[in-house]
């Protein structure tokens, strides 16, 4: 089963290779990974998506926690959270398809970020499945290139 | 007052309690060695190979309980330490390895003798550092020692560029290391202690399975108290030997691949397995689904990632073994439902069953009066040292015979590369141990193959007047591999025959040590006595039965009850 794991870690040289080395060395897989600074300059947040049986996920979180530079590990699957990823798609947009592309992008609340006589580059954010859906719909029109970010996730605030 | 980085480094090592450094110099270390020359209160032991520096530091740490220190140069000096570091990592031994590095402005330039040792050792250290600024030097060294010695101990490497140790700094005042991210759990959760004790009270057939964590946490007395209080038999891993007295009637000896028949049977049949500072290694468990398959499992370990890694655990206790055992013992002292006599009585049938297994297949061998049996040599070593020696081993059959037949009663007396299984560990380890405990008898139980992997350390032993005794169980084979070929590869001894070996007696003499040889059983005792009476490094070359095997043996992948007994 897929798990989204969020890791707060000290922003030190080599810290990312400690994480990726752990995954390759122990044969855990990483489906996506994204990392950037938090509000505190010396702390980064790394979100990774992995999959495996519960016992594997337990080992992954424990091994991550064991890294000296790691502050906190959260298995997002265990809590209410929101997930987003973003995709940039360069799709063919010639006279007869330009309107269709715009309609699709509108439905997915995406926007055009680059225009040329023969193509649009569009940006869509959303859950992994939404991003996948927009790719699937635009594919018959003619996708030239895509670039996807990894998933990022945030715990939902308490409602009461 | 400003001082040079190298001076501050030595000052900081002293602040950390360092008395001995095992090292080997090189270009980028010149500032440090220049400084070291002035300090008579730190003994620098000049090894003859950097791997040996790390093994010696590892053994020093095992014997004293302090952090061992190795100092090596950049490039090849650093890469030579990797085997030693990996071994210390597998066995959770606290050491700090200081490596020289090329000047910071050359890092990344493929400079002469530059390697990315921090990158290379990332997977085999508990943590490692490259010190890029002089202000970070002292805080980093303090943190390195703190990490090495706390929690689950392990090796920490600090890479020191030449320009950093040559720069000037104000020595920062000593202070307690406080880290934001690293806070090992020492105290057990009281609820878990309660659950564990209730489970122990319910058990009819409990077994304690003790590992290296008992030694690391100095909890042998607490373990002994628990076992005796409740009359629970104890089996130990290779790393746990000495954690409970090996000659005590409750001791089942070692378990696992070359464990005793009765230890493996007891674990297979027990209804409660109390794992203490052990990690369910494959050499212990054999086929995992058949391991203690009827038992509820309590697992005490300071490293949460060890718990439920290989085997599902019903009652995990994340804590230092000493703290956990103290809490458990205190619980029984308080508990009204605990009645010692009743408890001891309840375990009589279980202990009788184990005694039956023990009688059926005791640990043994067939004595021969014409040819020396290796087990006989180890027994004689035990007898003539009254079980009080510090024993290091190489790897292979020699290691297993040492583990099986030198019944360790004391902790920190058995030094072996358990997790990594490094041939060549024993001699440098014996030197490290002898430096740590000058008054003790230290014996390396060796194989004729392994001893040659760090034989150059005879010079170190001689230079520092370490009267270590090396007992070579000379079978002319890479014996353990040969044994597997005998059993599982149709006796095709592919490249395990050591047709040409040195004359070990002459070799000892060449180094100014003493060489003795025994070829008949009747010569074993006189040779050992002479060696023990000699105030010099001694090699004892025991020419043993060539194809003697280590038994019992659980073939890899089998259940531990499926043992070959001879
Ligand atoms: C550095 C290293 N290389 C290879 C091995 C694999 N190995 C394990 S035991 C062994 C044989 C050791 O021979 P020897 O030292 O003569 O000991 P014996 O088994 O004969 O007692 C070998 C080659 C190892 N453990 N370590
Ligand atoms: Mg041999």
Choose among A21, A63, A68: nearest Cβ to B127. Answer: A68
Choose among B181, B308, B312: nearest Cβ to A68. Answer: B181
Is the domain spanning A2-79 CATH 3.30.70.260? The answer is: yes
Average pLDDT over residues B417-440: 98
Give me the residues of B, 259-288, that contact A with CB < 8 A. none
Q: State whether A69 and B122 contact (CB < 8 Å).
A: no
Element (H, E) at A64: helix A54-66
Backbone phi, psi, residue B4, to 5°: -80, 150
* ipTM of model: 0.92
Pairing of strands A2-10, B251-254: unpaired
The Cα B436–Cα B412 span in angstroms is 11
Average pLDDT over residues B437-446: 98
Pick the catalytic residue from B126, B162, B205, B380: B162
The class level of CATH for B2-170 reads alpha beta
Does position B209 have pLDDT exceeding 90, yes or no? Answer: yes
Burial class (CB in 10 A: 0-12, 13-18, 19+), A13: exposed
pLDDT at B1: 82
pLDDT tier at B544, thresholds 50, 70, 90: very high
Residues near A4 by beta carbon (within 8 Å), at least 6 away in sequence:
A47, A48, A49, A75, A76, A77, A81, A83, A151, A153
Q: State whether B305 and A14 contact (CB < 8 Å).
A: no
pLDDT digit string (tens) for B504-519? Answer: 999 999 999 999 999 9
pLDDT at A103: 96
CATH, domain B374-543, list 1.10.150.120, 3.90.850.10, 3.40.50.970, 3.30.420.40: 3.40.50.970
pLDDT tier at B175, thresholds 50, 70, 90: confident
Is the domain spanning B190-360 CATH 3.40.190.10? The answer is: no
Q: State whether B119 and A69 contact (CB < 8 Å).
A: no
Shortest distance between the Cα of A72 and any Cα of chain B, in A, equals 8
Chain B contact set for A38 (CB, 8 A)? none
pTM exceeding 0.95 = yes
pLDDT digit string (tens) for B452-464? Answer: 999 999 999 999 9
Does position B263 have pLDDT exceeding 80, yes or no? Answer: yes
Tokens of B96: 């700090």
Q: How many CB atoms lie within 10 A of CB A78?
A: 10
Burial class (CB in 10 A: 0-12, 13-18, 19+), B266: buried
**Residue minimizing CA distance to atom 3 of ligand 1:** B423
- Say whether B112 is catalytic: yes
- Interface check A18 vs B, CB under 8 A: yes
- Say whether B50 is catalytic: yes
B374-543 and B2-170 share a CATH fold: yes
- Say whether B356 is catalytic: no
pLDDT digit string (tens) for A64-117? Answer: 999 999 999 999 999 999 999 999 999 999 999 999 999 999 999 999 999 999
Query: Where are chain B's structural domains?
Result: 2-170, 190-360, 374-543
Using an 8 Å Cβ cutoff, are B505 and B517 in contact?
yes
Which residue in chain A is spatially nearest to B181 when comparing CA positions?
A71
For residue B451, the CA-to-ligand 1 centroid distance in Å is 10
Q: State whether B123 and A58 contact (CB < 8 Å).
A: no
Does position B162 have pLDDT exceeding 90, yes or no? Answer: yes
Best mutation target among B116, B181, B185, B313 (most A Cβ atoms within 10 Å) is B181
Best residue for ligand 1 mutational test, from B84, B374, B396 (most atoms within 8 Å of Cβ): B396
Residue B168 exposure: Cα atoms within 13 Å on the Cβ side: 3
Does position B99 have pLDDT exceeding 90, yes or no? Answer: yes
The Cα B375–Cα B360 span in angstroms is 20
For residue A43, the CA-to-ligand 2 centroid distance in Å is 53
Is the domain spanning A82-155 CATH 2.160.10.10? The answer is: no
Average pLDDT over residues B533-542: 98
Q: How many CB atoms lie within 10 A of CB B2?
A: 10
pLDDT at A159: 75
pLDDT digit string (tens) for A38-58? Answer: 999 999 999 999 999 999 999
- Please report which ligand is nearest the Cα atom of B425: 1
Pick the catalytic residue from B112, B168, B187, B202: B112
The Cα B185–Cα B304 span in angstroms is 9
Q: State whether B127 and A62 contact (CB < 8 Å).
A: no
Query: Where are chain A's structural domains?
Result: 2-79, 82-155
């Amino acid at each position: 089963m897929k798990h989204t794991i969020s890791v707060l870690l000290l922003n030190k040289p080599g810290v990312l290779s400690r994480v990726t080395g752990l995954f390759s060395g122990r044969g855990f897989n990483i489906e996506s990974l994204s990392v950037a600074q938090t509000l505190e300059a010396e702390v980064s947040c790394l979100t990774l998506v992995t999959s495996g049986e519960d016992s594997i996920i337990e080992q992954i979180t424990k091994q991550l926690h064991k890294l000296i530079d790691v502050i906190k590990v959260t298995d997002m699957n265990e809590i209410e959270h929101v997930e987003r990823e973003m995709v940039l798609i360069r799709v063919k947009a010639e006279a007869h398809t330009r309107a269709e592309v715009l309609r699709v992008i509108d439905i997915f609340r995406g926007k055009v970020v680059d225009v040329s006589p023969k193509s649009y580059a569009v940006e869509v954010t959303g859950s992994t499945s939404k991003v996948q859906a927009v790719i699937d719909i635009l594919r018959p029109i003619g996708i030239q290139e895509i670039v996807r970010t990894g998933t990022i996730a945030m715990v939902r605030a308490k409602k009461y | 007052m400003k001082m040079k980085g190298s001076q501050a480094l030595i000052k900081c090592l002293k602040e950390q309690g360092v008395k001995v450094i095992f090292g080997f110099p090189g270009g980028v270390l010149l500032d440090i060695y220049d400084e070291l020359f002035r300090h008579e209160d730190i003994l620098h032991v000049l090894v003859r190979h950097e791997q040996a520096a790390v093994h010696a530091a590892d053994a020093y740490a095992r014997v004293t309980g302090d952090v061992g220190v190795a100092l090596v140069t950049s490039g090849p000096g650093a890469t030579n330490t990797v085997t030693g570091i990996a071994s210390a990592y597998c066995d959770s031994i606290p050491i700090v390895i200081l490596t020289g590095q090329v000047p910071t402005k050359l890092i990344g330039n493929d400079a002469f003798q530059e390697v990315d040792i921090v990158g290379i050792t990332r997977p085999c250290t508990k943590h490692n550092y490259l010190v890029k600024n002089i202000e970070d030097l002292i805080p980093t060294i303090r943190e390195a020692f703190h990490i090495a010695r706390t929690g689950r101990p392990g090796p920490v490497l600090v890479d020191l560029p030449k320009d950093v140790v040559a720069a000037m700094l104000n020595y920062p005042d000593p202070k307690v290391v406080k880290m934001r991210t690293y806070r090992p759990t020492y105290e057990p959760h009281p609820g878990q202690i309660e659950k564990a004790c209730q489970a122990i009270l319910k058990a009819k057939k409990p077994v304690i399975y003790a590992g290296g964590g008992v030694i690391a946490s100095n909890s042998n007395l607490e373990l002994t108290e628990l076992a005796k209080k409740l009359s629970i038999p104890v089996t130990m891993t290779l790393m746990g030997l000495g954690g409970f007295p090996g000659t005590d009637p409750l001791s089942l000896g070692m378990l696992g691949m070359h464990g005793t028949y009765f230890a493996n049977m007891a674990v297979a049949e027990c209804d409660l397995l109390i794992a203490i500072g052990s990690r369910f290694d494959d050499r212990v468990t054999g086929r995992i689904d058949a391991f203690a398959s009827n038992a509820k499992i309590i697992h005490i370990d300071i490293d949460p990632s060890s718990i439920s890694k290989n085997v599902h655990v019903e009652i995990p206790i994340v804590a230092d073994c000493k703290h956990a055992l103290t809490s458990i013992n205190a619980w029984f002292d308080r508990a009204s439902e605990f009645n010692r006599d009743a408890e001891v009585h309840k375990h009589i049938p279980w202990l009788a069953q184990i005694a039956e297994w023990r009688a059926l297949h005791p640990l043994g061998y067939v004595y021969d009066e014409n040819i020396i049996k290796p087990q006989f040599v180890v027994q004689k070593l035990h007898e003539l040292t009254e079980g009080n020696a510090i024993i290091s081993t190489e790897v292979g059959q020699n290691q297993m015979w040492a583990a099986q037949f030198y019944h360790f009663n004391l902790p920190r007396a058995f030094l072996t590369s358990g997790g990594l299984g490094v041939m060549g560990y024993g001699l440098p380890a014996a030197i490290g141990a002898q430096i740590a405990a000058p008054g003790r008898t230290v014996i390396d139980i060796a194989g004729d193959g392994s001893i040659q992997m760090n034989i150059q350390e005879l010079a170190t032993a001689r230079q520092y007047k370490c009267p270590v005794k090396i007992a070579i169980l000379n079978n002319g084979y890479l014996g353990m591999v040969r044994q597997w070929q005998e059993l599982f590869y149709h006796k095709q001894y592919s490249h395990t025959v050591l047709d040409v070996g040195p004359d070990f007696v002459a070799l000892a003499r060449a180094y100014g040590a003493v060489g003795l040889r025994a070829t008949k059983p009747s010569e074993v005792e006189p040779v050992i006595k002479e060696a023990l009476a000699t105030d010099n490094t001694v090699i004892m070359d025991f020419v043993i039965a060539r194809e003697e095997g280590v038994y019992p043996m659980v073939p890899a992948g089998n259940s531990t009850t499926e043992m070959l007994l001879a």
